Structure 1
Amino acid sequence: MAVRAYPWVAATLAVAMVGLALLALGRGEYGRWPLTAFVLVVAVNQLVGMIREFAAGEYGLDILAILAIVSTAAVGDYWASLIVVLMITGGEALEDFASHRANRTLTSLLERAPSRAHRVAASGVAQIVAASDVAVGDELVVLPGEIVPVDGTVLSNNGSIDEASLTGEPMPVSVGAGDQIMSGAVNGAAALRLRATRVAAESQYQRIVDLVREAQASKAPMVRLANKVAVPFTAVALVIAGVAWVVSGDPARIAQVLVVATPCPLLIAAPVAFLAGMSRAARVQVVVKGGGVLEILARLRTAAFDKTGTLTHGHPQVVAVHPQDDGPHCADELLALAAGAEQFSGHVMAGPIVAAAQGRGLAVRASSGVVEQAGHGVAAQVSGRAVRVGRRAFAGAADGEAGASSLHLPAGRLAVHVGIDGKYAGWIELADEVRAEAAGVIAELRGGGVEHVMMLTGDGAATARVIADAVGIDDIRAGLLPADKVDAVRGESRRPVMMVGDGINDAPVLAAADVGVAMGAAGATAASDSADAVIMVDSLAGVARLVTIARQTVRVAKQSIGIGIGLSVVLMLVAGAGAIPAVVGAALQELVDLTSILWALRALRAPRASR
């Protein structure tokens, strides 16, 4: 399969093996002509491709590659020609692989899209139909744990949905008759009835898919660093070669100049630096999907962050336990009993409560007679005690009961109330906590030259403000849907823009940004596939490390190109004066190449000052 997909790579390797076999047999002279003929065929193929690119208004390193192949073949250094050919054909294969890899985003999103619905027939019986067959006005039933297939209006009196995949908000949302819900949300523990207000193709989830497709199609192609100097370097080489020929009257001077003008500092040194930078990023658990990503990040001016799951951990945690004033139950007993009742519940708050009890070393006691009322809470018998966990009224709190009637929680906090043996016992406070490293990452980005930092979130303004103040962000855009986030990034004038996010809801904006960075440790596949870089550990610190690595990588790449080109220009001038024969020039050029490559490998190491 790979051989058929990349025939030039396979052919180059096959020719190289033939040449090496002849060398091993002491018949290296027989390999000269077939290897030379092959590299010239490749040069002609590159020339055809270059002409087509010029016709399309594009330019790059093709002319330099052709000159490198022809000049080295002309002086008999056909092995050097073959190495250049291998780099060219292998580079094309890697670019093709990157393009195919990008298409996985749409595949992932389409696989996650709701494919079926339970439509209520005239007889009152729910029938399974394709989501695309749902019409506006149809009554649907969404079973517990199912994805809402289309946008609609809730008909049920009480229900709960998880909109984390759409807005990024981890807290469950209570819904009732008349509320509007969007496709892509996940239903809670009770069946939910709704009336379709949009067909599947026009609903929110499909909009996300369309936005990713549009954003990826409109993203400008990345310009390789070497392309910026390809044309002037080629022009200088041709001018020096032409002047040397005219002044000396010897056409051999052209070959002598061109053989030391091979573009290895451009063809090899810069890519080696970027590969080294990508390898260094991988060592800190950040996967970068191409050297062009590092090039853009090195010029970063604006950084945008999602809130939930990015600046925060993305899942609620117990931050405090508040027994009822003058009540008989201490905090540990209250938490242990609540965990016993919640241990088999699928509610989003159940897991954190059980985890908090276990984290304190408390025994999660056996429960029986568990009854879960959607939108209200869980009732169970725990070690002979009647325990109710959920809403304040469900837990048995009286309207005027101290500590229960008027909780003034900070934005982003949530109270889960507990009743024991028919009496209100207290409440458990949960919050989606800010990542400990978030403020430091923002400060480091600002210190490194990022001019503007903003938060793009689907959450409410009050909660967003609390998180933004904690991490040092002034520009807050709250209450945004995926399309709004895309508009915010596209409308930013201080470019390049980096977007950091997680989850399906961030896939469109990650694709629309100049560089999208996904929190991929537990994020949605769609977000990771849309992103240009993926942080594989659950820490935001990788963002600052990635930007630092990008800046050093580009700096080293520029230095390696400068060293290679500078030495090549000096050698061209000397060769133009007739002081360097072609064979000696080829050997000297190899030293220039080696110097440039070794310098480029410095991108693998962190600067001494930052260690």
Structure 2
Amino acid sequence: MVLTTVLVAALAGVLTASAWSWSAPWLLGGFAAVAAARSAWSMVRDLLRGNVGVDVLAVTAIVAAVAVGEVWAAVIVVLMLTGGEALEDYAAHRAEHDLTALLSNAPRVGHRLLPDGTTEDVPVDEIRPLDRVLVRAGEVVPVDGTLLTAVAELDESSLTGESLPAERVAGDEVLSGGVNGASAVTLEVTRAARDSQYQQIIALVEGAAASRSPMVRLADRFAVPFTAVAFLVAGAAWWVSGDAVRFAEVLVVATPCPLIIAAPVAFMAGMSRSAHAGAIIKSSETLEKLHGARAVAFDKTGTLTSGRPELTEVRSAGRLSSDEVLRLAASAEQFSSHVLAQAVLGGATARGLTVAGSGSAEESTANGVTAQVEGRTVVVGKRAFVAAAAGQDVPPTALEPGELAVYVAAGGTYAGALVLRDEVRADARTTVDDLRSHGIRHIVMLTGDARPTAEHVAAELGIDDVRADCLPAQKVEAVVGLVERPVVMVGDGVNDAPVLAAADVGIAMGARGSTAASESADVVILRDDVSLVATTLTIGRETVNVALQSIWVGIGLSVALMLVAASGVLPAVVGAWCQEGVDVLSILWALRATGSRSQRVRVAPSLEQAPVPS
């Protein structure tokens, strides 16, 4: 529409300089009337919903200008109106372009077992209860079912929030959405795909998003008083002068250019600044809600904690040094893809230990690893597994909430235990403190973990409100029930998707989190850095402050021009161009939302590790 307006104006200019000059006013007036009718239709629909927007004044100005023959002034107003709409749409579409497709990791195909022992790949919607399905290593479980395989190890962190692997034995229920471990397993289907856990979570997301209340745009909050003042001044000028042209002249300079253009420009600048910092903000509405945020809720695993177990302590049984126990364990685990094996290897590397070669390594699913290391049999895994291999009793080692022990035997003798923990992120406490310093009144932690583990993490971070043992629906209830509004929710897993959609602002840790969480969120953090939550909040607040400033600057200048036009010394066309000058000043002020040069320099190095798509 912007391009069309420019082309019509150019054509009218050509006609004015030709023998067809008489047609130029008709072209301009007709085009402005059509543009006004288009905007009026949207305006009427908004009025029927009870919303009075800034378009009312702009449409009136266009109609008044055409009615008194000031067609060029009318077209200038059309250009302003369509330009503001285009900027707003561009900002929204640019943000959407930076995100991935909806639920790209959702299981779509299942391997159904046939009576002859072979498998056939079928869409998950065709899988029925009592069917048997094969889930290969590393695949997402497509439907809920009962485990038929003797033992299985599943990563259910995206469903439950628990970072450590979940072990299941034959007869246990297995929920869709979890990720299978290193060995293929067989399930007997208990629920069709549409009734399974994963699809229920998706339904929760859709329901939560639909229940959100619509928000009035920032510019529209100024629409009623500004429109009233403009009509009052224009009507008074007409009444005093007795000239209807005076009414149009006032309305042309009163057209709400700052309201229509300044706010979208500021929001686009703020969204661009946020993207360069490593967080995609999907809409200008999100920026406004961040500006007023009063409460923040955090998921624990993968958000406040790393989501990856790390070695915290090596406890030797006395025969070998702690470094030797760790070195032997890492040597046995080096060929395993298990998440705990990676933690053991990472711990050995951090201590500068050299891993020895191992032979005839054998992994027992959900139990541990047995390997030959430097002529000795080394067994690493669960206490019962290590005790059976060593042929002796292995005493349990004392653990704090959130800790897990991996036991080690070497040469047929118990050697010690490795203590692992999902550590709190180094910058999590700073993030919580920063949020409080920015006026966040209430911080709450929601998690599917047991209360002792949850309270231990919360104590480290200074969070008083802890909701533990939460299912996805209970997280939604907790957020909806918070008194302080707006509420910001931060999470990363599939289980967080419903509550991200239910919150006033959902922030997804998208670097390692699920696509379901990213799709249901309003903000997606592209780097594995929780401190960007505080950064995003700051950008939201500063952006809206700049937008408000630019609006007030524009309104002040517009009111001054209205008073001048009311005196009759400002022709409509000149007034329209003066209003465009006000636009320029408002836009320049709004562009301050990009932040200072120093602010951009501080975030720029991060782009080398995680480039933001443009």
TM-score, normalised by the number of residues in structure 1: 0.88
Kindly indicate whether residue 555 of structure 2 is the aligned counterpart of residue 565 of structure 1. yes
Letter in 2 for 1:345: S
Q: Structure 1 pair 82/252, CA: closer, same or farther in 2 (3 Å)?
A: closer
Q: Which of 456, 465, 474 in structure 2 is aligned with 1:466? A: 456
* 1:545 Cα deviation after fit: 1.4
Contact 1:12 1:85 (C-alpha < 8 Å) held by counterparts:
no
1:37–1:416 CA distance, 2 compared to 1 (3 A): same
Match status 1:541 vs 2:531: yes
Q: d(CA) in 1 for partners of 2:599 and 2:270?
A: 17
Whether 2:142 is the aligned partner of 1:109: answer no
Q: Amino acid of the residue matched to residue 76 of structure 1?
A: W
Change (3 A) 1:338 1:30: farther
Task: Please point out which of 58, 72, 75 is paired with 1:76.
Answer: 72
Distance in structure 2 (CA, Å) of the matches to 1:595 and 1:390: 68
Which digits, 9 at most, give the CA deviation of each residue in 1:239-290, with x for residues without a partner?
A: 2111111112122211221121021110111112222222222232121111
1:604 aligns with 594
CA contact (8 A) 1:132 1:200 kept: yes
Deviation, structure 1 residue 391? 1.0
Paired residues of 1:286 and 1:536 also in contact (CA < 8 A): yes
What CA distance in whole angstroms lies between the structure 1 residues aligned with 2:486 and 2:275?
Answer: 23
What SS does structure 1 have at the residue aligned with 2:198?
A: helix
Deviation at 1:145, TM superposition (A): 2.6
Tell me whether 1:228 sits opposite 2:221 in the alignment. yes
**Rounded Cα–Cα distance in structure 1 between residues aligned with 2:21 and 2:391:** 96
Q: What is residue 579 of structure 2 aligned with on the other side?
A: 589
1:316–1:433 CA contact under 8 A, matched in 2: yes
The corresponding residue for 1:357 is 348
Given the superposition, is the C-alpha separation of residues 29 and 513 from structure 1 closer, same or farther in structure 2, using an over 3 Å criterion?
farther
Give the 5 Å matches for 1:124-523. 130-325=123-318, 327-328=319-320, 330-396=321-387, 404-523=394-513
Q: 2:161 touches 2:447 (CA, 8 Å); kept in 1?
A: yes
Q: Provide structure 2 residue ranges, at least 5 long, that are not aligned to the other structure.
A: 603-614
Structure 1: runs of 5 or more not aligned: 1-7
- In structure 2, how many angstroms separate the alpha carbons of the residues matched to 1:323 and 1:422? 15
Moved more, 131-140 or 201-210: 131-140
Deviation by residue 1:155-198 (Cα, 9 ceiling, x = unmatched): 44433211012112110012224433211112223343444332
Matched pairs, number: 596
Does the 8 A contact of 2:29 with 2:71 survive in 1? no
Question: Are 1:399 and 1:405, in contact at CA under 8 Å, matched by a contact in 2?
Answer: no
Corresponding letter in the other structure for 1:43: A
| CA distances 1:93-134 after superposition (whole Å, capped 9, x unpaired) | 4488489879x88x632751353143474x677665553344
Which SS does the other structure have where 1:489 is aligned? helix
Q: Pick from 84, 87, 91: which aligns with 2:83?
A: 87
AA matched with 1:90: A
Letter in 1 for 2:378: V
Tell me the CA shift for residue 500 of structure 1. 0.3
Report what 2:112 is aligned to: 118
Are residues 411 and 96 of structure 1, via their aligned partners in 2, closer, same or farther at CA, if it must alter by over 3 Å?
closer
SS in 1 for 2:363: strand
Task: Give the secondary structure class of the aligned counterpart of 1:559.
Answer: helix
Kindly indicate whether the alpha-carbon contact (under 8 Å) linking 1:153 and 1:179 is maintained by their aligned counterparts in 2: yes
Shift of the 554–29 alpha-carbon distance from structure 1 to 2, 3 Å rule, reads: farther
Cα distance between partner residues in 2 of 1:202 and 1:459: 24
User: What letter corresponds to residue 77 of structure 2 in structure 1?
Assistant: S
Distance of aligned partners of 1:334 and 1:22 in 2 relative to their CA distance in 1, 3 Å threshold? farther
Contact 1:110–1:209 under 8 Å retained in 2: no
Q: Percent identity?
A: 49
1:467 is paired with a residue whose SS is: helix
Partner letter of residue 356 of structure 1?
Answer: G
Check the 8 A contact 1:9/1:89 in 2, yes or no: no
| Partner residue, 1:66 | 59
Give the deviation of 1:519 after TM superposition. Answer: 0.9
Deviation at 1:12, TM superposition (A): 4.0
**Cα offsets for 1:414-439 (capped at 9, x unmatched):** 11111212221112111111011111
Counterparts of 1:32 and 1:521, CA distance in 2: 56
Distance 1:159-1:583 versus aligned 2 partners, 3 A rule = closer
Cα deviation for residue 140 of structure 1 reads 4.5
Distance verdict in 2 for CA 1:509–1:20, change over 3 Å: farther
Secondary structure of residue in 2 paired with 1:52: helix
Stretch of structure 1 that moved more, 224-233 or 209-218: 209-218
Query: Cα distance, 1:584 vs. partner?
Result: 4.3
Which stretch of structure 1 is more off in the superposition, 556-565 or 467-476?
Answer: 556-565
Q: Residue deviations 1:413-464, cap 9 Å, x none?
A: 1111112122211121111110111112112222222221111111111111
How far apart are residue 76 of structure 1 and its match?
Answer: 2.9
Rounded Cα–Cα distance in structure 1 between residues aligned with 2:161 and 2:16? 62
Structure 2: distance between partners of 1:24 and 1:465: 79
One-letter code aligned to 2:258: P
Contact conserved, 1:69 with 1:84, CA < 8 A, in 2? Answer: no
The aligned residue for residue 3 of structure 1 is none
Could you tell me how far apart the structure 2 residues matched to 1:153 and 1:592 are? Answer: 68
Q: Is the 8 A contact 1:162 1:186 kept in 2?
A: yes
**SS of aligned partner of 2:102:** helix
Q: Give the equivalent residue in structure 2 for 1:5.
A: none
Q: Which range is displaced more, 437-446 or 293-302?
A: 437-446
Instruction: Give, as a single letter, the amino acid of the residue that structure 1 aligns with 2:300.
Output: K
Shift of 1:523: 1.7
CA distance in 2, matches of 1:399, 1:467: 37
The equivalent residue for 2:514 is 524
Residue range with higher mean Cα deviation, 245-254 or 193-202: 193-202
Shift of 1:304: 0.6
Report what 2:606 is aligned to.
none
| 1:117–1:134 Cα contact (<8 Å) kept | no
SS in 1 for 2:527: coil
Greater Cα shift, 590-599 or 223-232: 590-599
Report if aligned partners of 2:397, 2:417 keep a CA contact under 8 Å in 1.
Answer: no
Match of residue 551, structure 1, among 510, 523, 541: 541
39-48 or 466-475: which moved more? 39-48
Which residue identity lines up with residue 586 of structure 2 in the other structure? Answer: S
Larger mean Cα displacement after TM superposition, 352-361 or 75-84: 75-84
Whether the 8 Å contact between 2:92 and 2:283 is mirrored in structure 1 is no
Say whether the 8 Å CA contact 2:92–2:284 is kept in structure 1: no
Kindly state the Cα deviation for residue 136 of structure 1 after the two structures are TM-superposed.
3.5
Q: Could you tell me which residue of structure 1 aligns to residue 609 of structure 2?
A: none
Give the letter aligned to residue 332 of structure 1. D
- The alignment partner of 2:315 has SS state of strand
